[in-house]
Chains A and B, each alone.
Chain A
Amino acid sequence: MNAHSDTAHHEGKNYLNHERGLWSWLTTTDHKRIGLLYLYSILTFFLAGGVFALLMRTELARAGADIIQNPEVYNVYFTLHGVLMIFMFIVPGIPATMGNFLLPLMIGAKDVAFPRLNLFSWYIYVIGAVMAGFALIHPPDTGWTFYAPYSIKSGSSVVLMTAAAFVLGFSSILTGLNFIVTIHKLRAPGMTWFRLPVFVWGTYATAVIQTLATPVVGMTLVLLLMERVMGVGVFNPDLGGDPVLFEHLFWFYSHPVVYIMVLPAFGVIGEIIPVFSRKPLFGYKAVVFASVAIAGVSFIVWAHHMFVAGISDTAAKVFSILTFGVAIPTAVKVFNWVSTMYKGSITFATPMLYAIAFVFLFMIAGTTGIYLATLATDVFYHDTYFVVAHFHYTIQGGAVIGLIAALHFWFPKMSGKMYNETLAKIAFVLVVVGFNLTFLPQFVLGMEGMPRRYYDYPPEFQTLHTISTIGAFINGIGYTWALLNLAFAALFGKVKAPANPFNSLSLEWQTSSPPPHENFHTVPEVTDYPYAYGRPLSYENH
Chain B
Amino acid sequence: MFRYLPEQASDFAHKVDWINNLITDISVFFTVAIVGSMIAFAIIWRKRDGKDHETPRIEGSHFLEAVWTIVPTIISIYVAAYGYVIFDEMRDIPEDAPTVNVTGQMWRWDFLYPNGKKTTGELVVPVDEPVKLLMTSRDVLHSFFIPAMRVKMDVIPKQFTSLWFRPVKTGEYRVFCTEYCGRDHSSMLASLRVLSKADYERWLNDRSDEAKAARMKPADLGKELYTQKGCNACHSLDGSRLVGPSFLKLYGKEEALADGTTVKVDENYLSSSITNPNAQIVAGFPPNMMPSFAGQVTDDELFAMIEFIKSIEEPQQAAPAAVVQEDAAALAAMSPEQRGKRIYETKLCITCHSLDGSPLVGPTFKGLYGKSGKLADGSTYVADEEYIRNSVYDPASKVVEGFAPAMPSFQGQLSEEDVKDLIEFLKTVK
Direct A–B touching, Cβ under 8 Å:
yes
**B26: A residues at CB distance < 8 A:** 367, 370
Given contacts A71-B186, A344-B55, A376-B87, contact A283 B79 (CB under 8 A): no
**A154 within 8 Å of B (CB atoms):** yes
A150-B182, A342-B58 in contact; A332/B69 too (CB < 8 A)? yes
Min Cβ gap A70→B in Å is 8
Q: Given A343-B45, A344-B45, does the pair A379, B90 have CB atoms closer than 8 Å? A: yes
Interface assignment of B59: CB less than 8 Å from any CB of chain A: yes
A150 touches B141 (CB 8 A): yes
In angstroms, Cα B41 to Cα A344, docked, is 8
Tell me, in angstroms, the Cα distance from A439 to B180 when the chains sit together: 21
A-chain residues with CB within 8 Å of residue B145 when the two chains form the complex: 383, 449, 451
B150 proximal to A (CB < 8 A): yes
Once A456-B186, A537-B54 are accepted as A-B contacts, the answer to whether A382 and B47 lie under 8 Å apart by CB is no
Residues B83 and A377 in contact, CB atoms below 8 Å apart: yes
Are B46 and A348 in touch, CB under 8 angstroms? yes
Which residues of chain A are near B54, meaning CB under 8 Å? 345, 536-537
Give Cα A278–Cα B57 distance, bound, in whole angstroms. Answer: 9
* Listed stretches B171-179, B255-263, B316-324, B385-393; interface member: B171-179
B91 at the interface (CB under 8 A from A): yes
| Contact (Cβ within 8 A) B64 A339 | yes
User: Which residues of A are found within 8 Å of B157, using beta-carbon distances?
Assistant: 149, 237-238, 243
Specify which chain B residues have a CB less than 8 angstroms from the CB of A534 in the assembled complex.
55-58
Q: In the docked arrangement, what's the CA distance between A457 and B177, Å?
A: 12
Residues of A within 8 A of B176 (CB): 449, 451
In the bound complex, CA of A509 to CA of B71 (Å): 38
Number of chain A residues close to chain B: CB under 8 A: 90
Do residues A449 and B147 form an inter-chain contact, with CB atoms below 8 A? yes
Q: Evaluate contact between A376 and B56: CB separation under 8 angstroms.
A: no
Cα distance A283–B20 in the bound complex, in angstroms: 33
**What A residues does B39 contact at CB under 8 A?**
356
Cβ distance B43 to chain A, nearest Cβ, rounded Å: 9
> How far, in Å, is B160 (CB) from chain A's closest CB?
9
B185 x A382 contact (CB < 8 A):
no
**Interface presence of B198 (CB below 8 A):** no
By the criterion CB–CB under 8 Å, are B158 and A237 in contact?
Answer: yes
Would you give the shortest CB distance from B175 to chain A, in whole angstroms? 10
Chain B residues positioned under 8 Å from A154 (CB to CB)? 182
B contact residues around A244 at 8 Å (CB): 156, 159
Closest CB in chain B relative to A249 CB, distance in Å: 15
Q: Which of B29-37, B304-312, B376-384 forms part of the interface with chain A?
A: B29-37
Report whether B72 and A327 are in contact in the complex, using a CB–CB cutoff of 8 Å.
yes
Does residue A455 face the partner (Cβ distance < 8 Å to B)?
yes
Cα–Cα, bound, A278→B177 (Å):
53
Q: How far is the CB of A151 from chain B (nearest CB, A)?
A: 9
Are A379 and B59 CB-contacts (below 8 A) given A359-B35, A451-B176, A454-B185?
A: no
**Which residue among A244, A363, A536 has the maximum number of chain B CB atoms within 10 Å of its CB?**
A363
CA distance A532 to B58 in the complex (A): 9
Looking at the complex, which one of A141, A342, A375 makes contact with B84 (CB distance below 8 Å)? Answer: A375
Q: Chain A residue with minimal CB distance to B13?
A: A380
B202 at the interface (CB under 8 A from A): no
List chain A residues, Cβ under 8 A from B58. 279-280, 282, 342-343, 534
Q: Given A153-B139, A335-B34, are A284 and B60 also a contact pair (CB < 8 Å)?
A: yes
Choose the segment among A29-37, A41-49, A198-206, A305-313 that binds chain B (4+ C-beta atoms closer than 8 Å): A305-313
Any B CB within 8 A of the CB of A143: yes
Contact A346 B46 (CB under 8 A): yes
- For A532, give the chain B residue with the smallest CB separation: B57
Which one of A238, A334, A451, A531 has the highest number of Cβ atoms from chain B below 10 Å of its Cβ? Answer: A451
Q: List the B residue with the shortest CB-CB distance to A377.
A: B20
Contacts of A309 in B (CB 8 A): 154, 156
In the bound complex, residues from chain A placing their C-beta under 8 Å from that of B61 are 282-283, 339
Interface residues of A in 69-113 (CB under 8 A from B): 71-72, 75
Question: Is A468 part of the contact surface with B, judged by Cβ < 8 Å?
Answer: no
What is the 8 Å Cβ interface bit string for chain B, positions 12-33, against chain A (1 contact, 0 not)?
0001100110010011001100
Chain A residues whose C-beta falls within 8 Å of the C-beta of B52 in the assembled complex? 278, 345, 347, 537
Instruction: Flag if B147 contacts A380 (CB, 8 Å).
Output: yes
Are A356 and B34 in touch, CB under 8 angstroms? no
Q: Give the residues in chain B near A142, CB-CB below 8 Å.
A: 180
The 8 A CB mask of B176-220 against A (1 = contact, 0 = none) is 111111111111000000000000000000000000000000000
Give A268 to B87 CA distance when docked, in angstroms: 38
A-B CB pair tally, cutoff 8 Å = 271
Evaluate contact between A310 and B153: CB separation under 8 angstroms.
yes
In the complex, the answer to whether A377 meets B68 with C-beta atoms within 8 Å is no
A324→B80 contact, CB < 8 A: yes
| A-chain residues with CB within 8 Å of residue B156 when the two chains form the complex | 237, 243-244, 309-310
Which stretch in A315-323, A394-402, A474-482 binds the other chain? Answer: A315-323
**Closest CB-CB distance, A63 to chain B, in whole Å?**
11
| A377 in contact with B16 given A324-B80, A458-B174 (CB within 8 Å) | yes
- Nearest CB on B from A82, distance (A): 11
Q: A345 touching B53 by the CB < 8 A rule? A: yes
Does chain A have a CB within 8 A of B334? no
A343-B56 contact given A335-B64, A375-B87, CB 8 Å threshold: yes
The answer for the CA separation of A279 and B86 in the assembled complex, in Å, is 46
Interface residues in B110-159 (C-beta closer than 8 Å to A): 139-141, 143, 145, 147-148, 150-154, 156-159
Closest Cβ of chain B to A319, distance in Å, is 11
The answer to whether B183 and A71 touch across the interface, beta carbons within 8 angstroms, is: yes
The proximity string for A residues 352-374 relative to B, scoring 1 for CB distances below 8 Å and 0 otherwise, is 00001001100110011011011
Is there contact, CB below 8 Å, between A453 and B87? no
Chain A hits for B181, CB < 8 A: 150
- Residues 451-471 of chain A: 1 if any B CB is under 8 Å from the residue's CB, otherwise 0? 111111110000000000000
Q: How far is the CA of A90 from the CA of B27 in the complex (A)?
A: 27
B41 CB contacts on chain A under 8 angstroms: 338, 341-344, 346
Q: Determine if A212 is an interface residue (Cβ-Cβ < 8 Å).
A: no
Please pick, from A143, A238, A334, A376, the residue contacting B90 in the complex, using a CB distance under 8 A: A376
Q: Residues 271-291 of chain A: 1 if any B CB is under 8 Å from the residue's CB, otherwise 0?
A: 000000111101111100000
- Pairwise interchain contact A150-B180, C-beta atoms closer than 8 A: yes
Q: Knowing A280-B59, A451-B178, say if A320 contacts B83 (CB, 8 Å).
A: yes
Query: Is B370 in contact with chain A by the CB < 8 A criterion?
Result: no
Supposing A237-B158, A360-B35, A447-B4 touch, asked if A535 and B57 sit within 8 A by C-beta, the answer is yes
A342 to chain B, nearest CB (A): 5
A356: B residues at CB distance < 8 A: 38-39, 42
Q: Is the CB of A347 within 8 A of B141?
A: no
Query: For residues 394 through 423 of chain A, which have their beta carbon under 8 Å from a beta carbon of chain B?
Result: none
User: Does A448 make an interface contact (CB < 8 A)?
Assistant: yes
Write the A509-542 contact mask toward B (1 if CB under 8 angstroms, else 0): 0000000000000000000000111111100000
- Determine whether the beta carbon of A147 is less than 8 Å from that of B141: yes
Contact of A150 among B87, B140, B150, B177 (CB under 8 A): B140
Bound complex: CA of A279 vs CA of B60, how far in Å? Answer: 11
Is A279 in contact with B55, judged by CB distance below 8 angstroms?
Answer: yes
Q: Are A380 and B35 in contact (CB under 8 A)?
A: no
Query: With the chains together, A531 CA to B174 CA distance in Å?
Result: 56
List chain A residues, Cβ under 8 A from B47.
345-347
Complex Cα gap A310–B268 (Å): 11
Q: Is A130 an interface residue, CB under 8 A from the partner?
A: no
Task: Check A313–B150 contact: CB distance below 8 A.
Answer: no
Query: In whole angstroms, how far apart are the Cα atoms of A359 and B68 in the complex?
Result: 16
Are A284 and B42 CB-contacts (below 8 A) given A321-B80, A338-B34, A371-B20? no
Q: How far is the CA of A448 from the CA of B7 in the complex (A)?
A: 9
> Are A71 and B184 also in contact (CB < 8 A) when A338-B34, A380-B147 are?
yes
Complex Cα distance, B19 from A499, in Å, reads 53
Knowing A244-B156, A335-B34, A344-B55 touch, does A374 contact B72 (C-beta < 8 A)? no
B46, B80, B153 — most chain A CB neighbours (10 Å): B80
Can you offer 10 A-B residue contacts whose CB atoms are under 8 A? Answer: A244-B156, A277-B45, A317-B87, A327-B72, A344-B55, A347-B52, A370-B23, A379-B16, A453-B186, A535-B57
Report, nearest first, the 6 A-B pairs whose CB atoms are least far apart: A449-B147, A534-B57, A367-B27, A374-B83, A375-B87, A447-B4
